[in-house]
Amino acid sequence: MQNVSQVICDGCGQPASAEHIARRLKRLESMTRYRPIHVQVLFLGAVSPPNAEDYLYSARDAFLGEGAILLQALHLEDTGRSLEATLADFQRRGYLLAHLLDCSDTLSAEEVSREALARRIPATLTRIRQSFKPKRLVLLGQELAEFIPRFMAANLGAALILQDGRPFEWNQMSDNALTKELAATAQAL
């Protein structure tokens, strides 16, 4: 008989096995290594990429997926630089990338639903308030659109940065809109 763990993962809110917790800790360790002391901008996506190499902090040979998209949108050059140098530059600027659901590699498509995201909002808001303490919060992905009022009402102490009142869409961030919004809110601070 298999022993079912009663431990709830802090990254996805699901009951977790020892292997699940080990993967979560590895991902958290990778992010923490490049976490800025003072978070200027927290980029918050809905669900971390299922492929670990698409996750910004787990890149191996090159930045792929959402990591590459975010770096390109921020005009952070990675050509001719090591991954570590690029991530150190991201960190130096006070940038941090996090997700509502951090363990998508263990979630089925059905589990990555509106309800799963809604369940993670309170824990994420607490984490933003007590741990990250960003000056600005950028929502990434239309999955977060319906939760904008909750972020606005949460008294996070951070300017909420949106594109025309909606979260930035991952596949449409390369048009300089993100850097323009960040520059505008930086001047307002």
Q: Give this prediction's pTM.
A: 0.86
Name all contacts of 104-109 with Cβ < 8 Å and 24+ positions apart: 104/12, 104/47, 104/48, 104/49, 104/50, 105/23, 105/48, 105/50, 105/51, 105/52, 106/12, 106/14, 106/20, 106/23, 107/12, 107/14, 107/47
Each residue of 155-169: pLDDT tens digit?
999 999 999 999 999
Q: What are phi and psi of 71, to 5 degrees?
A: -60, -40
Residue 4 lies in a domain: no
Render pLDDT for 3-51 as a digit per residue (tens, 0 to 9).
Answer: 554 787 777 777 777 887 777 788 888 888 999 999 999 999 998 888 8
Residue 7 maps to a domain: no
Range of the structural domain that residue 174 is part of: 18-188
Distance, CA of 107 to chain centre: 17
The verdict on residue 1 lying in a domain is: no
* Structural domains of the chain, count: 1
Residue 10 in domain: no
Please check whether residue 12 lies inside any domain of the structure.
Answer: no
Read off the CATH number of the domain in which 125 is found: 3.40.470
Backbone φ and ψ for 110, nearest 5 degrees, come out as -70, -35
What local confidence, expressed as pLDDT, does residue 133 receive? 96
Residue 47 in any domain: the answer is yes
Give domain status of residue 159, yes or no.
Answer: yes
Evaluate whether residue 64 is within a structural domain: yes
The pLDDT tens digits for 90-106 are 999 999 999 998 776 55
Tell me the pLDDT tens digit for each residue of 38-48.
Answer: 999 999 999 88
